[in-house]
Structures are given as structure tokens and as C-alpha cells.
Amino acid sequence: MDSEEDALGTDPTDPDTDGDGFSDGLETNELGSDPLDANDPGVGSTGASGITDDDSSFPTGGLIATAVGLAAAAGLALTGAGQRLWGKISQFLAGSIFGFLILGRRKNRCEHCGKRVTSQEGILVDEDDNYECADNPNGDHHQLKRK
């Protein structure tokens, strides 16, 4: 064994000559990296978990990170603070959608007759493409509420 370490130039008394966290034997026999260079990633890039993430394999590192993130989010939802936060977010979203629907309806109705109106070439017309509003005391056309 010492003859191999002599040939490689590694320290026989230190199992990890370059101090990168991988043993000299693992680097030379499995990873294909230089046991004297702590910055040599070898054949595939290998993180501290020992999971290879090269072009020929499924990107398990990203999958594990995603699973950990989802587990953390689920854990937060189980706490009292997480439940209160989710409750406030839900209330805000529900209120925003409801308010949008109400304001959107009022904005598109005639102030006098209440019919839905749209603008066609700058003129407000109802669903029957009629611009006349019999309920308008100031004229004969549909009108939106002024703010």
C-alpha cells in the first residue's frame, strides 16, 4: 500500500492528503480525481453527500434539495405560526379576488339603468349594442359612475 502512495505522491500517514473530505483511495479508485488537489472534482461533480451528479445520471442532488424544502414548508404549516401565516395569506387572496369581482362589475354597468355596458369606438353600449338609456335624466346615453 505504501508503494502506491509513494507512486502517487500522497502521504501514507494521512488518509486524505489534500484535505478535501474524500480519502485518497476513494479519489483514485472511484472518483477519478487527484488526491493531491482539493479542487479537483473528478469524473463527476460530487458533493459532500457523496451523490454523483454528472450528465449520465438523474440529478438526485436537486431532487433531495427539493424534498428537503417541501418537508420544511410542511413542517412550518404544522406549527402555530405557520398556520396563522397561511390563514392571513388565504384571507388576503380571498378578499382580493372578491373585491376585484365586485369592483369589476360596478365599473362596467350604467349608472342609471344598471345594464352591463362596454365601450365601442368610445361610445358605451349595452348587451344589445344599444347606446340609449331611457333612465338617464341628463341625456339619452348610458353613463358610468364618476369617482
Q: Is pLDDT of 115 > 50?
A: yes
pTM of the model: 0.30
Q: What is the pLDDT of residue 45?
A: 47
Separation CA 128–CA 19 (nearest Å): 81
Q: What are the structural domain ranges in the chain?
A: 1-53, 65-107, 109-147
> CA 94 to CA 12: how far, in whole Å?
67
Do 8 and 35 touch, CB atoms closer than 8 A?
yes
Percent of the chain with pLDDT over 90: 3
Which CA distances in Å does 138 have to 20, 109, 112, 133? 85, 17, 10, 10
